[in-house]
Amino acid sequence: MGFTIAFAGKGGTGKTSIAGLTIKFLLTKRNGPVLAVDADSNACLNEALGVKIHTTIGKLREESLQAVRSGSDRPGGMSMEQLFDYQVQQSLIEAKGFDLMVMGRPEGPGCYCAANNIIRKYTDLLSDKYPYVVIDNEAGMEHLSRRTTHKVDLLIIVSDPTLKGIQTAKRINELVDELQLDVEKRVLLINRVVGHEGEELKKIAEGFGLNVAGLIPQDDMIFKFDLEGKPVFDLPEDAVSVRSVFNVLQSMKIP
């Protein structure tokens, strides 16, 4: 199974941007390839990576349910499970150095449990084909309680430079223990730090028992790229955010 890195944190912390930069690191410094998994129902990892979505797991599931209800014929006499397996394989978005699988928002009513279970199943099945797997989870802690995040080598919890963000990180860290999730290592990144504000937050986080791996400074280039509709994946390696994220990941000795 590939080395799996998962991301967690409250909304608005820049978690997806850091996930995108992590994929950039694995491709440029570890030679990939990478299976990228957008496990957020509000899919946006593709925007960070600069690729277009042509379908999602949620949409495929709804189409399969509709086919069952309508009694539609299946090609080649395939079972519904075989057809769905084939469709999921075809739904992978192929890019240079990485493939992307997107959960998406189920179009029908109800919870996301089924789509989450599908993402977990196919992440497990596909991860054997990739040396690295990067999972961008949805904001908050629901994905942990639904156990979307599991069998993880490195869990990176991302906080913004606020006490609320650190407290959310603390709750996520505690929930990993409560659910006895299979996480080898977990660290905290405090993102968008300006001046010396991060040092005080780092002390608070460490007081909560969190392992602070690094402080990522505010990068105006990310804001500029966002305004221009450019993906953070295309940031130059000398951008302050890229250098900081790369240095943190390098220090973790990812194989």
Domains of the chain in sequence order: 3-251 (3.40.50.300)
What pLDDT does 126 receive? 80
For residues 190 and 212, the answer to whether their CB atoms sit within 8 Å is yes
Identify which of 118, 113, 85, 95 has the alpha carbon closest to the alpha carbon of residue 45: 95
* Helix spans in the chain (H): 15-29, 45-49, 57-70, 80-91, 113-127, 142-145, 163-178, 197-207, 220-227, 240-251
What pLDDT does 88 receive? 78
Instruction: Tell me the CA distances in angstroms from 27 to 1, 34, 127, 243, one per residue in order.
Output: 18, 7, 16, 15
What pLDDT does 52 receive? 93
For residues 34 and 132, the answer to whether their CB atoms sit within 8 Å is yes
Radius of gyration of the chain (CA): 19
What pLDDT does 74 receive? 60
What pLDDT does 85 receive? 76
Model's pTM, two decimal places?
Answer: 0.89
Angle between helices 220-227 and 240-251 (to 10 degrees): 120
Cα distance between residue 86 and residue 154, in whole Å: 30
Question: Could you state, in chain order, the average pLDDT of each consecutive group of 10 residues for the chain (255 residues)?
Answer: 88 94 96 89 88 85 68 62 75 91 67 64 81 85 54 93 95 89 93 92 97 97 95 97 97 91
What pLDDT does 138 receive? 77
Rounded to a whole number of angstroms, the distance between the first and last alpha carbons of the chain is 13
Encode 176-190: b = buried (16+ Cβ within 10 Å), e = exposed. Answer: beebebebeebbbbb
What pLDDT does 29 receive? 94
Residue with the two structure tokens 């090609």: 75
Beta bridge partners of 158: 189
Identify which of 204, 152, 202, 143 has the alpha carbon closest to the alpha carbon of residue 175: 143
